[in-house]
Homo-oligomer: A and B are copies of this chain.
């Protein structure tokens, strides 16, 4: 899947095969962050939430945040006249030689690209599996969409059956964390549960929107430690992501669920 347009530090890149500096800390250490946002009907959905997460994560990692104005200008630049697509934003600590220790006050690198939309499967239900890979626990990195994503890559390499739409991930202690590229919610009638992500996983932008909308709809909402057995009493399970929206889970190994009413209500409330 090739990008339609790539901008690096505010400039359109003529040749995407030669876009990034050898010394960039994103390439050398995964020393950076990213966002993937949905461009639909000419609007970047939940852009403010994406930028807020990026800014807060930059602060946690002490990476220079490029600013909302500059990133928004880049996004407009790569989008051009396109109405639909995927906007990917990468911000790294910048380009600086060799060695883990960064220069202080290094200007960050920002890379913004437009990709085509994945094959349309919005709102379709998912059959999922358990991944064997366990996510490591580290409160210092938990929640951020940083570039250290080998675990997600290895997890997705575990299956190639196209009928399996996602894999569920536990951490090394056996706690339920997320899907490989989305967050998980468990409903018991009108109570909604989702892992608190204090040790691993990414605090998805769509996860945040769902939590907010659920409160507005009068659902009982809890972020807490969850375990595989918490799926046993679920009346409904769904997976959320900025790109794929709210996707009902209808099968996990021998377990089956109906696509339920809460996922539908939340999708409607969020205009998905």
Chain A residues near B (Cβ < 8 Å)? 1-3, 6, 8, 13, 15-31, 34, 36, 61-62, 86, 88, 90, 93, 95-102, 104, 111, 113, 115, 118, 133-138, 140-141, 146-157, 160, 172, 180-181
Contact = CB atoms under 8 A, between A and B. Distances in A.
A50 to B, nearest CB: 15
Nearest to A99: B1
Contact of A61 (B99, B148, B150, B156): B150
A3 B138 contact: no
Given A101-B156, A149-B30, A22 B6 contact: yes
Contact of A29 (B2, B136, B147): B147
Contact of A3 (B23, B100, B113): B23
Question: How many copies of this protein are present in the complex?
Answer: 2
A160 B93 CA distance: 18
Contact of A102 (B146, B148, B157): B157
B21 A17 contact: yes
Contacts of A98: 1, 3, 36, 86, 88, 115
A32 to B, nearest CB: 9
Contacts of A140: 133-134, 151, 154
A138 to B, nearest CB: 4
Nearest to A140: B133
Given A133-B140, A156-B100, A111 B148 contact: no
A58 B31 CA distance: 21
A242 to B, nearest CB: 13
B20 A24 contact: yes
Contacts of A181: 99-100
A147 B30 contact: yes
A61 B20 CA distance: 24
A62 to B, nearest CB: 7
Nearest to A115: B98
A157 B102 CA distance: 7
A11 B150 CA distance: 27
A31 B61 contact: no
A253 to B, nearest CB: 21
A181 to B, nearest CB: 6
Contacts of A102: 153, 157
Nearest to A111: B22
B31 A20 contact: no
